[in-house]
Amino acid sequence: MIKSSTNRTTAVCRVALLTALASASLSAQITTLTFEGLGNLEPVLNFYNGGLGGSGSGPGVNYGVSFSPDALAIIDSDAPGGTGNFGGEPSPSTVLFFLASSAVMNYPTGFDTGFSFYYSSVFNPVSVSVYDGINKTGNLLATIPLAVTSSDGGDPSGSFSPFFPVGVSFSGTARSVDFGGAANQVGFDNITFGSAVPTGVVPEPSTYAALVAVAAIGGHQWYRRRKAA
């Protein structure tokens, strides 16, 4: 009787803990920029900041995110109206690229937990840095190295193809991102705030799935013990 009661208490605690962990992982605020709705070679500017892109598109969803003037949307040349030399983008057919050697994205209200995106960089390795102040000021929270990616020839055309997911977890609150060294040589898409895995990635047999499986097993054992008692 005593043993049964102890087991039951342990099992209940375990289930409660797992439920709490699952809830915490799901409550993170995750936002993704797909750049769909912007024109070919249009500056993104305030499209995601309650305003318009440089050619008058938008407004998109107001996430409070703005880009420096050299951050441009570009549409795949395989799609109507596009001139982009890319393929395999996670959200067709518009991606982001930069004409400046250092372009900045500001998110003054801030985001936490992680930052991620898809990219293609077939010639040069570059890096992306995350800061806790706007305009790449304050503390450097994380740097994401971007290795040179392979090219599969496009969808059906495009050298910058496919796009690969990359991301980083960090502590603190981020307010700006520096896309240094990415001038005209890197394409980005599905820029995701609040997660080290960009939206669009099909999860591996995930931590969350494992937690659910363990919780179910624990619950079942507890039910059997309770019934036996």
Counting every residue written for the chain, the total comes to 229
- Closest approach, Cβ 68 to Ca ion, in A, equals 19
- Closest approach, Cβ 65 to Ca ion, in A, equals 15
Phi first, then psi: what are they for 179, rounded to 5°?
-95, 65
C-alpha–C-alpha distance, residues 220 and 218, integer Å? 5
Closer of 78 and 112 to Ca ion (Cβ): 78
* Residue 138 neighbours by CB distance under 10 Å: 15
Burial status of residue 24 (CB atoms within 10 A of its CB: 0-12, 13-18, 19 or more): exposed
Can you tell me whether residue 224 is helix, strand or coil? helix
Closer of 37 and 172 to Ca ion (Cβ): 37
C-alpha–C-alpha distance, residues 116 and 121, integer Å? 15
Closer of 59 and 92 to Ca ion (Cβ): 92
- Closest approach, Cβ 121 to Ca ion, in A, equals 16
Closer of 34 and 121 to Ca ion (Cβ): 34
- Closest approach, Cβ 42 to Ca ion, in A, equals 13
The helix (run of H) or strand (run of E) holding residue 5 is: helix 2-27
Closer of 35 and 48 to Ca ion (Cβ): 35
**16, two tokens:** 């409660």
Contact assessment for residue 89 and residue 119, using Cβ atoms and an 8 Å cutoff? no
Contact assessment for residue 207 and residue 3, using Cβ atoms and an 8 Å cutoff? no
- Closest approach, Cβ 82 to Ca ion, in A, equals 8
Closer of 127 and 157 to Ca ion (Cβ): 157
Q: Rule CB under 5 A: which residues touch Ca ion?
A: 34-35, 76, 78, 87, 91-94, 154-155, 158, 189
- Closest approach, Cβ 85 to Ca ion, in A, equals 8
